[in-house]
Structure 1
Amino acid sequence: MSVSTGSAKDHVLIFDTTLRDGEQCPGATMTLEEKLEVAELLDVMGVDVIEAGFPIASNGDFEAVSLIAQRVKNAVVTGLARAISVDIARAGEAVRNAARPRIHTFVSTSPIHLEHQMRKSEEEVLEIITTTVAQARNLIDNIEWSAMDATRTPIEYLCRCVDAAIKAGATTINLPDTVGYATPDEYRAMFKAVRERVPNADKAIFSAHCHNDLGLAVANSLAALEGGARQIECTMNGIGERAGNAALEEIVMAIRTRGDVLPYETRVESTMLTRASKLVAAATSFPVQYNKAIVGRNAFAHESGIHQDGMLKHSQTYEIMTPESVGVSKTSLVMGKHSGRAAFRNKLTELGYELGANQFEDAFVRFKELADRKKNVYDEDIEALVDQNLATANDRIKLVSLSIVAGTRGPQRATMKLDVDGRIVTEEQEGNGPVDATFNAIKALVPHEAALELYQVHAVTEGTDAQAEVSVRLTADGRSVTSRAADPDTLVASAQAYLGALNKLVARGVRVHAHAAE
């Protein structure tokens, strides 16, 4: 597995850990169905390795990894395991039916981790590496070993650990910047030093896994390639613990766009990046920031008069890549109440949505209702209503109607009707403002102990008739979930977002009770 560093384009393996490291981001937990949908799209998109989860974490995680392993057709499917015998056995069992299975095991190597977390000596950790990697290799031929906190590990000891892992059977060596501490020059030098000093380094592929605590995850990942790494571990939209991981879409497009200084290539079909970004954002209820590179709403938007003038004369004056290359259409059709099904279907295709017949009809009805209430319907409006329609299709608790009494005289009151598992329940509640009254009505109709951690409102587009997009985060029984909803009426959007989060908690086993129908 020797690695070429010559001028010819080398293949870089893209290792996606959205379903494992990405899901560890607080509030980003996905359902089994959502995980399967994301995994299948990543496979079709050309990702080389899919880290499907942490099988020992829970029975749900084990089931998800097992089903993904069975369904994925092309990519390697791996499950993460600590350097513990039971973890490795569980991971091996979870991925054993994959067409291309891998076990990914890790152990800390830095002095601060060994002293305060592992409470082991360097020699004890070396023995753990040899034993656990050998155990994994006896189960599956494809083994990845990671040195957690590699960038804060003395290079001499790191080399001893890597040598031991390769001798025990590791075929991929990951040297992660676990805490996002390194700079590009340091990270490049670390890979170069390890590959030069470890005698059997040519028997393994080296991998980079960078966190974004200092905003350097992508830069460090690309620097690792110069140091000899040929696998990059990343996530869609850069989601992940703390400040997130290196963003897959940024890695892929940097390599594609700057081939003059990055002589590498990937198998990822870049025209599917926007679609994958939207799917992950919807599944995790984590919105993509407007100015996010590659997949953000403003990535190909130009408002400055100077920029617009340049774009009209030649697109490359202010765009270094085409919107089409990442799955974005340059055309911006203004949709309105006179638009028909054909135009609406075409717009959905442009935006990357593929809906079934019933989903399309539901979305079209909601679009018409929105168009009657707004002068102009923008792409962002359509994305918001379709994402909400898809997210609530299987909800057990649905909003039927909401009436609000508000103003200076008070008290503010909300009259709400819900459909709970097919039963219609009604309630009227007062509150300290219309939003509080709305949420009190939900709590009265569906009693629960969930705590409201976040309530956030922003406009989807400009203007007084803009849709309000509301984000709500609820926590119960140690679970934290986030949901978004959009509607021209801020209070309706608030109710929908709260119910969306409540439905996610119900789907994760949190018990609630509905009042008798009235």
Structure 2
Amino acid sequence: MTSERVLIFDTTLRDGEQAAGTSLNPQEKLELARQLEGLGVDIIEAGFPVTSQGDFDAVRLIAREVRNSTICALSHANDEAIDRAWEAIKRAKKGRIHVFLSTSKVHLTYQLKKSQSQVLKLATSAVARACRYCGDVEFTPMDTTRTDVKFLYEVLEGVIDAGATTVNIADTVGYSIPSEFGKLIEGICKNVPNISRAVISVHCHNDLGLAVANSLEAVRRGARQIECTVNGIGERAGNAALEELVMGIKTRGDQYRMCTGIDTTQLYKTSRMVSEFTGFIVPQNKAIVGNNAFRHQSGIHQDGIIKKSNTYEIMDPKDVGVPSSSLVLGKLSGKHAFKERLLELGFSLDDETLGHAFKAFKELADKKKEVTNRDIQSLIGEEIRTATEIYHLDHVGVSCGNQSMPTATVRLIGPNKEILADAALGTGPVDAVYKAINRLVCVPNQLTEFSVNSITEGIDAIGEVLIRIESGGVSYTGRGSDTDII
């Protein structure tokens, strides 16, 4: 029996970037978009072009470079935003404009200050304008799950008549529960006369921890597109996690009788790449892609796994791309073995980048007895970040103790290869380094987050430093990893 296809709409680059403290530059967005394309994502929501020039540039760049996935741009229900969205995606091989407008009573009363009839007119006219540019138009009645259901049916019928090819049912504040959400989807299928002319999509937030459950129930009741993010990142408590949705549908095919176009062997790599770029660490116990997802400590469980893996594993780790190689890499390993491990982890580097990465690997191997997969992923992340740096940290030295004033000396190489050096005192070594760098770059900013985490195990583990600053109302994230960190 042929399974029916569920479309995967990834909004990591748009809703995922709305997670507090996250900021991606256009090149990082392009790298992630290419990975999402390789993963097999059907639609990539690349950004919200009208909000900033940076977002516009990123969407336009992705639209030019990514050819296999549909590239979607989000838009307010007004002419300026729709025109801007089209300008950003018009060179895409497959483009989509995604128009949204609030429909719930609380939003209409306190945010939009408009009547239902005014909102209906705005929605249909906005969709009609988008359709003049693009044959693929999606409409979201924002805060759908708190919208009067009769008004919702009217809005959906109106926007489909205006040309919408996808209607997205959004649990914007994560309020719904599976039985209720499934009933809503079923009601739409039965009560919107022209619903057969559009794909029903769902977009669930995780405020009650039910985003994945709600999305999967919607699929059972008639939805054929799921909007989601890698690792479930997003506004507030996040979105439905792509990897959990895809593996839920695949693992429980007996229940859903559906399929996706996702190459599940790319899930682990994609998860780590998103974590690396955003600075959000994947929890150890995260379903599907967490470090503990396929680790067994209980003696009874270990005994079962040794005898037959499916006694305690419902998925094969290889199916989600978890590396299982027993090949040990160390200071005596050659470039060929290093390249093979990179390929196993899903990285294909050009000769120049491979050379830089191998040099960094050998330097690390001199410090560590054994180099792990997470060490290698961290090295590749460093290579990507180094390629986009403006200031290069050439030297940092600190002096501190319980009877001395913390002091830092810093030397940077500037954008024009000039040498910049300074020293500063601080309340601690980190504060001293921060002050010295600020005096050199002369960019007003506020440090909002500083954290140090061990990303591998053992006393010689690689540590990662995450720094978030705000400048001019914009949040920026910096990351670095090494065995010697501050």
TM-score normalized by structure 2?
0.95
- Match in the other structure for 1:507: none
Answering whether residue 231 of structure 2 is matched by residue 237 of structure 1, we say yes
Contact 1:179/1:211 (8 A) holds in 2: yes
Rounded Cα–Cα distance in structure 2 between residues aligned with 1:375 and 1:448: 41
The 3 A distance-change label for structure 1 pair 277 and 461 is: closer
Aligned mate of 2:431, from 433, 436, 453: 436
1:338 matched to 2:332? The reply is: yes
How far is 1:225 from its partner? 0.8
The 8 Å contact of residues 80 and 91 in structure 1, kept in 2 or not, is answered as yes
Q: What does residue range 138-157 of structure 1 map to in structure 2 within 5 Å?
A: 138-157=132-151
What corresponds to 1:84 in structure 2? 78
CA displacement at 1:208 relative to structure 2 = 0.5
User: 1:410-449, aligned counterparts within 5 Å?
Assistant: 410-421=404-415, 422-449=417-444
Note the alpha carbon deviations across 1:119-155, whole angstroms, 9 max, x for none: 1111111111222222222222222111100001121
From 465, 471, 475, the equivalent of 1:476 is: 471
Deviation at 1:307, TM superposition (A): 2.7
1:349–1:44: structure 2 CA closer, same or farther, 3 Å change rule? closer
* Match of residue 459, structure 2, among 458, 464, 470: 464
The 2-side partners of 1:221 and 1:351 are apart by 30
Equivalent residue number for residue 309 of structure 2: 315
2: distance between equivalents of 1:226 and 1:202?
17
Corresponding residue number in structure 2 for 1:296: 290
Q: How far 1:308 sits from its partner (Å)?
A: 2.6
Offset of 1:37 from its aligned partner? 2.1
Aligned residues: 485
Conservation of the 8 A alpha-carbon contact between 1:175 and 1:209: yes
Bigger Cα displacement from structure 2, 69-78 vs 142-151: 69-78
2:402 matched to which residue of 1? 408
Shift, 1:405, TM fit? 2.0
Bigger shift: residues 257-266 or 41-50: 41-50
Cα deviation for residue 347 of structure 1 reads 2.1
CA distance in structure 1 between the aligned counterparts of 2:479 and 2:56, rounded to whole angstroms: 28
Give the aligned residue type for 2:475: S
Moved more, 248-257 or 359-368: 359-368
1: CA distance, partners of 2:126 / 2:478: 40
Deviation at 1:59, TM superposition (A): 2.4
What is the CA-CA distance between 1:107 and the residue it aligns to? 0.9
Residue deviations 1:82-103 (CA, integer Å, cap 9, x gap) = 1112212222232222222222
Q: Distance in 1 between matches of 2:84 and 2:432?
A: 48
Instruction: Verify the 8 A CA contact 2:391 2:412 in the aligned structure 1.
Output: yes
> Are the counterparts in 2 of residues 359 and 390 from structure 1 also a CA contact under 8 Å?
no
Q: Deviations over 1:310-338 (max 9, x none)?
A: 22222212221112111222224443222
- Cα offset, 1:173, TM superposition: 0.9
Q: Distance in 2 between matches of 1:19 and 1:455?
A: 23
Distance 1:338 1:26, change over 3 A: same
1:398 aligns with 2:392: yes
Native 8 Å contact 1:150 1:177 kept in 2: yes
**Corresponding residue SS for 2:420:** strand
SS of the residue 1:363 aligns to? helix
CA distance in 2, matches of 1:74, 1:190: 32
Secondary structure of 2:208's aligned partner: coil
* 2:218 is the alignment partner of 1:224: yes
* Mapped contact 1:332–1:379 kept (Cα < 8 A): no
In the TM superposition, residue 218 of structure 1 has moved relative to its aligned partner by 0.8
- Which residue identity is paired with 1:65? V
Q: CA deviation at 1:366?
A: 2.2
Local SS of the residue matching 1:125 = helix
Shift of 1:270: 1.1
Aligned CA distance change for structure 1 residues 77 and 458 (closer, same or farther; 3 Å): closer
Quick one: which amino acid aligns to residue 196 of structure 2? Answer: D
SS in 1 for 2:14: helix
Cα distance change of structure 1 residues 443 and 62 upon mapping to structure 2, 3 Å threshold: closer
Structure 1 range deviating more: 120-129 or 278-287: 278-287
1:8: how far off? 5.5
Report the CA distance shift for 1:35/1:183 in structure 2 as closer, same or farther (over 3 A). same
- For residues 135 and 447 of structure 2, the distance between their equivalents in structure 1, rounded to whole angstroms, comes to 47
Aligned partners of 1:38 and 1:280 also within 8 Å: yes
Counterpart residue identity of residue 459, structure 2? T
The answer on whether the counterparts of 1:328 and 1:350 sit within 8 Å (CA) in structure 2 is no
Query: How far apart are the structure 1 equivalents of 2:424 and 2:92?
Result: 53
| Partner-residue secondary structure (3-state), 2:74 | strand
Q: What is the aligned partner in structure 1 of residue 280 from structure 2?
A: 286
Q: Secondary structure at the match of 1:473?
A: strand
2:114 is the counterpart of 1:114: no
In structure 2, C-alpha distance between the alignment counterparts of 1:98 and 1:417, rounded to whole Å: 43
CA contact (8 A) 2:140 2:168 kept: yes
Tell whether the 8 Å contact from 1:329 to 1:351 is kept in structure 2 after alignment: yes
Contact 1:106-1:146 at 8 Å conserved across structures: yes
- Name the CA distance, whole Å, in 2 between partners of 1:332 and 1:113: 55
Look up the match of 2:260. Answer: 266
What is the rounded CA distance, in whole Å, between the counterparts of 2:114 and 2:294 in structure 1?
51
For 2:8 and 2:457, the matched residues in 1 are separated by 38
Q: Secondary structure, in 3 states, of the residue corresponding to 1:392?
A: helix
**Alignment-derived partner of residue 54 in structure 1:** 48
Could you tell me the TM-score, scaled by structure 1's length?
0.89
List alignment gaps of at least 5 residues for structure 2.
none
Uncovered stretches (5+) of structure 1, i.e. residues with no partner: 1-6, 492-518
Matches of residues 56-71 of structure 1 in structure 2 within 5 Å?
A: 56-71=50-65
The aligned residue for residue 254 of structure 1 is 248
Paired residue secondary structure (2:460): coil
Give the CA deviation at 1:223: 0.6
Contact kept, 8 Å, 1:400 with 1:418, in 2: the verdict is yes
SS in 2 for 1:403: strand
Q: CA deviation at 1:113?
A: 0.5
Q: Determine if the alignment matches structure 1 residue 197 to structure 2 residue 191.
A: yes
Aligned mates of 2:69, 2:308 — CA distance in 1: 39
Distance in structure 2 (CA, Å) of the matches to 1:392 and 1:263: 45
Q: Given the alignment of the two structures, is residue 372 of structure 1 paired with residue 366 of structure 2, yes or no?
A: yes
- The farther-off stretch of 428-437 and 141-150 is 428-437
1:352 equivalenced with 2:346 (yes/no): yes
CA distance in 2, matches of 1:415, 1:138: 59
Instruction: Say if 2:25 and 2:58, in contact at 8 Å, map to a contact too.
Output: no
Cα distance, 1:468–1:68 mapped onto 2, change above 3 Å:
closer
CA shift, 1:52, in A, is 1.7
Separation in 1, partners of 2:133, 2:197 = 19
Aligned residues of 2:330 and 2:371 also touching (Cα < 8 A): yes
Distance 1:416 1:90 in 2: 43
Equivalent residue, structure 2, for 1:9 = 3
Return the letter of the residue paired with 1:461.
Answer: T
Alignment CA distance shift 1:139-1:362 (3 Å): closer
Task: Measure, in 1, the Cα distance between the counterparts of 2:405 and 2:428.
Answer: 8
Q: Which amino acid aligns with 1:431?
A: G
Change (3 A) 1:310 1:331: farther
Q: What do residues 228-287 of structure 1 show as CA deviations (whole Å, max 9, x unaligned)?
A: 110111111212111111111111111111101111011111112222223322332333
Alignment-derived partner of residue 501 in structure 1: none
